[in-house]
Structure 1
Amino acid sequence: MTEVSTVLARRQGAAGRLTVNRPEALNALDLRMIRAMLAALDEWESDPAVTAVVLDGAGERAFCAGGDIGVVHSSAVGDPAVAWALWREEYRLDARLARYPKPVVALMDGITMGGGIGIGAHAAVRVVTERSVLAMPEVAIGLAPDVGGALLLARAPGELGTHLALTARRAGPADAIHCGLADHYVPSAELPALVDDLAAGAPVEPAVAARASDPGPAPLAAARCWIDDAYGGTTTVEDVLYRLEAIDEPGPREAAAAITAAAPTALKVTLRAVRRAREMTSVEECLRQDFRLCSRFLRHPDLAEGIRAAILDKDRSPRWRPGTLAEVDDAAVEAFFAPLADELTLPEQSTLWSDHR
C-alpha cells in the first residue's frame, strides 16, 4: 500500500502549494508534517519562479484543528521531551511563516484552532470562508494559548482578545476579521478560482480582494461595550467573573459559565500572558513566552486531566488541581513565566511583527 503524504507540497504555476493533508484528524499537525512544511518553505524561498505560497487544508471540515493532542497528552503523562521537540519545531514554523519574504496566503477554510491559528493567522494574507471557525480553546484543557496566539489576541480591539482567550469562544468569519485574526472573507466556492489566479502570477492583494465579499456584521462588535467593561483595567479573573455575573444578559452569562468551567491555573496564566503580550513587538518574543508556559503546563496535572476529560474520555468533567481561582496565587502564576534552562531560540529579524500587517 502506498503511504499517503500528510503534507502535499507542489508547484502550481507561480504558486507554491502547501496542503496539510490529514483530514481524518482535522489536519492536526505532527512533527513530521511541520518539518515537511519547513523544508518546502526553504526550497521555495530561493526559487524565483515561486512568487507566492498558498497554504490550505485537505477536506471541507478543517484548515487545521491544532497540534497533535495525542503527543501532548502522552508527553504530559510520560516523556516531556516529545512535546518539547514538537513545540520547538512548530514555533519555528509559525515564526517562519510570519517572516517569509514572499507573500503567504492562508486559506483558513473550516475549523482553525490552536496550532491552526499558528500557521494561518501569522501569514501575510489571511482568508476565511463561511465555514471558518477560529478559536484558541486552550484554557478548556488546562493550557494557555500558544503559537503566538496571545500576541494576536492582545492586538484585538478593546478587550475582545481577552474575552476570546478566557472563554475559549469560537469566532466565525466576521468576528475573525473584526478581531484581526483574518483579513478577507472569500466564499469557499471561490477558493479554486482564487488559487488559479495566484498560480497565474496575479498580484496577491488585488487577486484576493477581487474574490472577497462582505462577511456581514460581527457579533463581537455589538458586544464590545459589556466585554470592555467586564475585562478592562488592571483586573483579575475573579474580577472578570464578578462583573460578568452582575450582568443579567445571555452573552455575559455564557461567558461566565465558560470561564467557570476552565482550569483555574490556566485562566490566571492566560490573563497574565495576554496582558504581557500587549507590550511585545515581535512574534518571536511571544513564542519564547509560549514555550516557557507550555513547558511548565506539561508538568502540571491539569493538562493531562484536561485532555482526558475533553478529548479522550469526553466526560467533560475535569478535576482541576487546584480547583478554585482563589487557590492559585500570584507566585504560582509568575513561576510559569520564569526563564528556562533550555530556552526556545529563534532567529532575530529586523522587521517587527507590527510592520508585517
Structure 2
Amino acid sequence: MSDHVHIHRHGSIGHISLNRPKALHSLTLPMCQAMTGALLEWRADDGIDAIILDHAEGRGFCAGGDVAQVRQSVLEDGGEAGDAFFRAEYQLNHLLFTYPKPVIAFMDGVTMGGGVGLSLPAQYRIATENTLFAMPEGAIGLFPDIGAGWYLARLPGRIGPFLALTGARLDGAECLWAGLATHYLASEACAKAKSEIIARPHAIADILAELSVPAPEARLARNQEKIDLLFASDQLEEIVDALSGDGAEWAAKELKSVTAKSPLSSKVALKLIGQGLQRQDFAAEMKAEYALATHMIRQPDFAEGVRAVLVDKDNSPAWQADSAAGVSDTLVEALFTPLAPADEWSPLPGS
C-alpha cells in the first residue's frame, strides 16, 4: 500500500484518489501497485458496481510518471527499476482498459503523461475548466506512451501527431471536442457528481448528463484545418519544412515547439502513432510500447531531457541530434526491436 494513494469504498463504489500533491500526483511504482491491487480486489467483488478515480487535493489530477526516479534508475542500476515501473504502470493501464465495471475518471486539473494513461481507458472521462491535458514526453527525450500509440492514432485528422510533436496543452473544452473527455462539468459540480454516483450507482450516465454544462468553444477545432495540412506527413523532416514554409504566426509558434523537442523522440512518436491503427488490441500496444520504453530510457536524450526539465530545470537540453536529419532511420528501427520472450511485457492474469 502507498500513502500516496487513498483507497476507499463507499457502498458499492470503489474510490481511488491520488495523493501526492507536491509532485502533482506523479506516479511511482508503489502507487501503481496500490491501485492495481485495489482494482483487482474490486474486479472480483460482486458488491462493487463502479470505480471513481480522482485526486485528493491540489491542482493536478496526475502530471505523469515520476521520470526523475526512472532516470536515477538508469544512472544507478542500468534501468532495472525503471523497467519495473513501466511494466507495472502499463499493466495498470491495461487493467483499466479492460476493466469490466465502469470507471469514472475526474480529469479536474493537470492530466499529462501517466495521468492520461489512467484517465483515457475510463468509460466516463470528466473534463472541467481546470483540465490541462498534454503529452509532453518529447521535451524529456521519451515518447508519448501509456497507450498513446493507440489513442492518438484514433483522434480526428492529424490531431494525434500534432499533440505528440508539439506537446500542446489542451483545456477541458478541447478535450471534449477531440473525444478525449466524455463530459464537461464545472469543477464545483464534481463533488456533487461523486456523491450522486455513490447514491445511485446504476445511474452514472444520467447523473453526468444532468450535471454537464455547455463547454466553451474549442480552440483546437478552429485550428484543425491547419493541423491536418501542416502535420499531414509521417516524416518529421516534411512536417518541419511545411511549418517553416507556411509563413503564418501560428505555424511559426508550432515550429518552435516541434524543434525544441528531441528529434529522436519525435521520429519515434510518429512511427508509433503510424502503427497504432494496425495493433490487434490494446495488449499488443502495451507490449510494443514497453519494449520501446526500455530502449528509450537508455538513450542519452532521456537522461539529458529529464536533467534539463526536472533536475537542473534550465530547460536547455543538448540533444544527441540537433535536427531531424541527424536521426537515422536505422536508429529508429532499432528502438522498435521486440524484447526477448523472457523480458516481454504481458497483461495481468484475467485482463
Q: How does 1:135-150 map to 2 (within 5 A)?
A: 135-150=134-149
The answer to whether the 8 A contact 1:284-1:348 is kept is no
Query: Shift in Å at residue 349 of structure 1?
Result: 7.9
SS of equivalent residue, structure 1 residue 116? helix
Query: Shift in Å at residue 251 of structure 1?
Result: 2.0
Structure 2 CA distance for partners of 1:149 and 1:4, relative to 1, 3 Å: closer
206-215 or 187-196, which moves further after superposition?
A: 206-215
Instruction: Give the aligned partner of residue 354 of structure 1.
Output: none
Aligned partner of 2:24 among 18, 23, 26 = 26
Instruction: Give the aligned partner of residue 224 of structure 2.
Output: 224
The separation in 2 between residues aligned to 1:230 and 1:286, in whole angstroms, is 27
- State the number of aligned residues: 347
The separation in 1 between residues aligned to 2:179 and 2:285, in whole angstroms, is 17
Query: Shift in Å at residue 278 of structure 1?
Result: 2.3
Query: Shift in Å at residue 77 of structure 1?
Result: 1.9
**2:160 aligned with 1:161:** yes
Query: Shift in Å at residue 14 of structure 1?
Result: 2.4
57-66 or 243-252, which moves further after superposition?
A: 243-252
Task: Give structure 2 stretches of 5+ with no counterpart.
Answer: none
Instruction: Give the aligned partner of residue 128 of structure 1.
Output: 127
Instruction: Give the aligned partner of residue 258 of structure 1.
Output: 257
TM-score normalized by structure 1?
0.94
The answer to whether the 8 A contact 1:52-1:204 is kept is no
SS of equivalent residue, structure 1 residue 242? helix
Instruction: Give the aligned partner of residue 205 of structure 1.
Output: 205
The answer to whether the 8 A contact 1:186-1:212 is kept is yes
The separation in 1 between residues aligned to 2:241 and 2:62, in whole angstroms, is 35
Instruction: Give the aligned partner of residue 195 of structure 2.
Output: 196
Q: Which runs of 4+ in 1 moved over 4 A?
A: 347-350
The separation in 2 between residues aligned to 1:182 and 1:206, in whole angstroms, is 16
Query: Shift in Å at residue 149 of structure 1?
Result: 1.4
Per-residue displacement from partner, 1:162-209 (whole Å, max 9, x unpaired)? 100001111111111222221111111001110011101342211111
Q: How does 1:45-124 map to 2 (within 5 A)?
A: 45-79=43-77, 80-124=79-123
The separation in 2 between residues aligned to 1:347 and 1:54, in whole angstroms, is 21
Query: Shift in Å at residue 71 of structure 1?
Result: 1.3
The separation in 2 between residues aligned to 1:229 and 1:262, in whole angstroms, is 21
Residue type of the alignment partner of 1:26: L
Instruction: Give the aligned partner of residue 7 of structure 1.
Output: 5
The separation in 2 between residues aligned to 1:40 and 1:54, in whole angstroms, is 12
Query: Shift in Å at residue 65 of structure 1?
Result: 0.5
SS of equivalent residue, structure 1 residue 106? strand
Query: Shift in Å at residue 348 of structure 1?
Result: 8.7
Instruction: Give the aligned partner of residue 36 of structure 1.
Output: 34
The separation in 1 between residues aligned to 2:149 and 2:73, in whole angstroms, is 23
Per-residue displacement from partner, 1:300-328 (whole Å, max 9, x unpaired)? 00000000111111111111012221121
The answer to whether the 8 A contact 1:15-1:201 is kept is no
Instruction: Give the aligned partner of residue 186 of structure 2.
Output: 187
Instruction: Give the aligned partner of residue 320 of structure 1.
Output: 319
Residue type of the alignment partner of 1:60: G
The separation in 2 between residues aligned to 1:279 and 1:251, in whole angstroms, is 32
The separation in 1 between residues aligned to 2:207 and 2:126, in whole angstroms, is 12
The answer to whether the 8 A contact 1:292-1:340 is kept is yes
The separation in 1 between residues aligned to 2:199 and 2:49, in whole angstroms, is 10
Residue type of the alignment partner of 1:227: I
Residue type of the alignment partner of 2:305: G
Query: Shift in Å at residue 293 of structure 1?
Result: 1.3
Query: Shift in Å at residue 255 of structure 1?
Result: 1.0
The separation in 1 between residues aligned to 2:330 and 2:124, in whole angstroms, is 40
The answer to whether the 8 A contact 2:68-2:310 is kept is no
The answer to whether the 8 A contact 1:134-1:171 is kept is yes
Query: Shift in Å at residue 53 of structure 1?
Result: 0.3
341-350 or 29-38, which moves further after superposition?
A: 341-350
Residue type of the alignment partner of 1:219: R
Residue type of the alignment partner of 2:218: A
Query: Shift in Å at residue 347 of structure 1?
Result: 5.3
Query: Shift in Å at residue 86 of structure 1?
Result: 0.5
SS of equivalent residue, structure 1 residue 53? strand
Residue type of the alignment partner of 1:116: G
The answer to whether the 8 A contact 2:2-2:31 is kept is no
The separation in 1 between residues aligned to 2:187 and 2:100, in whole angstroms, is 27
TM-score normalized by structure 2?
0.95
Task: Give structure 1 stretches of 5+ with no counterpart.
Answer: 351-357
Query: Shift in Å at residue 299 of structure 1?
Result: 1.2
